[in-house]
């Protein structure tokens, strides 16, 4: 199970950070290092934006901690809740909405990042990215793992 969690977490985290960097670049011209420094600023504060590669790598580490947390929790809960065995699509939506809500309503308010006002369009885009990049790989991998057992 842990090998599958590692592979799935790496895949989901990579897809999600690539999507986040792509979206930031297309929407605002923001470079990937700025995206990663912004993530690190949740712990380091605004000084992170002046940091170098080490701060960007710290942001990447924080990103993967969150991606792995989503993956681990879903893999541990999946065998205990029969309702999760029905639909990869619904599980992907559940994962995306929970990941967005936890990040938006808990992690960001507890961090040093000033929360942006809630905007429906931004929330839909974020949840859609999470659905494809985190939800689908995690839900599909969990189903595949537990169907084998």
Reported as a single tens digit per residue, the pLDDT across 49-65 is 999 999 999 999 999 99
Please provide the DSSP assignment of 38-93 as one string.
HHHHHHH-GGGGG--HHHHHHHHHHHHHHHHHHHHHHHHHGGG-GGGGS-HHHHHH
Query: Is it the case that residue 73 has pLDDT exceeding 90?
Result: yes
pLDDT of residue 147: 87
Closest CA to 90 of 46, 34, 143, 38: 143
pLDDT averaged over the chain? 95
Contacts of 59 (CB under 8 A, 6+ apart): 35, 36, 37, 38, 39, 40, 41, 48
Query: Is it the case that residue 149 has pLDDT exceeding 70?
Result: no
Reported as a single tens digit per residue, the pLDDT across 89-131 is 999 999 999 999 999 999 999 999 988 898 999 999 999 999 9
Q: Taking residues 19-38, what's their average pLDDT?
A: 96
| Percent of the chain residues past pLDDT 70, beyond the cut | 99
């Amino acid at each position: 199970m842990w090998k599958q969690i590692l592979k799935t977490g790496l895949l989901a985290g990579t897809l999600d950070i690539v999507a986040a960097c792509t979206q930031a670049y297309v929407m605002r011209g923001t470079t990937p290092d700025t995206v990663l420094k912004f993530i690190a600023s949740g712990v380091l504060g605004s000084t992170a934006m002046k940091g170098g590669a080490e701060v960007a790598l710290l942001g990447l580490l924080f990103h993967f901690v969150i991606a792995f947390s989503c993956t681990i929790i879903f893999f541990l809960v999946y065998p205990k809740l029969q309702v999760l065995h029905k639909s990869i699509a619904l599980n992907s939506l559940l994962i995306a909405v929970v990941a967005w809500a936890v990040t938006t309503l808990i992690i960001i308010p507890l961090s040093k990042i000033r929360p942006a006002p809630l905007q429906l369009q931004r929330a839909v885009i974020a949840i859609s990215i999470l659905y494809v990049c985190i939800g689908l790989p995690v839900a599909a991998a969990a189903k595949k793992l537990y169907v084998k057992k």
